[in-house]
Structure 1
């Protein structure tokens, strides 16, 4: 801002008319940018808390007892793609 004011001739105050408005616009843009940064940090923190909570609850949950129907699961190796050695 000092550079802009110094570049203006002493009698040419008309060129300084839009400087204040431009300064306030830039201040508003910086505040908005900082606010969006805070929103991003809050979103990442919330996702982290949800993930850790969900993972912790999954560790505390009982593991299901294997049932007799497990032969129909994908991990049983009975898939038609198992003979083709296709892994997904």
Structure 2
């Protein structure tokens, strides 16, 4: 890239500075765009890291939470074995 810039600057006649008028502004614009992309990349990494920490903390807290006692309504669950087909050993 340095060689390209030297070639372009060398191609300009000594009195023809009009062709180089917008070069500095274009360079600073590209530097600004690159900084913005880098900043957005850092924000994305931070968001993913925060989501991971929250997920791990939530999962750890769920493991530490006491398990609820079985409900009296468990006789209505599918695994209660009260289906008319349970005696036939039919699985669905």
The answer to whether TM tops 0.5 is: yes
1:59 aligns with 2:63: yes
**How many residues were matched structurally?**
80
1:6-85 pair list within 5 angstroms: 6-73=10-77, 76=79, 85=92
What TM-score do you get using the length of structure 1 for normalisation?
Answer: 0.76
Q: Offset at 1:67? A: 1.2
Cα distance in 2 for residues equivalent to 1:8 and 1:72: 87
Evaluate the alpha carbon distance shift between residue 66 and residue 21 of structure 1 in structure 2; reply closer, same or farther with a 3 A threshold: same
Q: Please list every run of 5 or more consecutive structure 2 residues that lacks an aligned counterpart in the other structure.
A: 83-89
Q: RMSD of the TM alignment (CA)? A: 2.3
The higher radius of gyration belongs to 2
Taking the aligned partners of 1:7 and 1:71, their CA distance within structure 2 comes to 89
5+ residue gaps, structure 1, are none
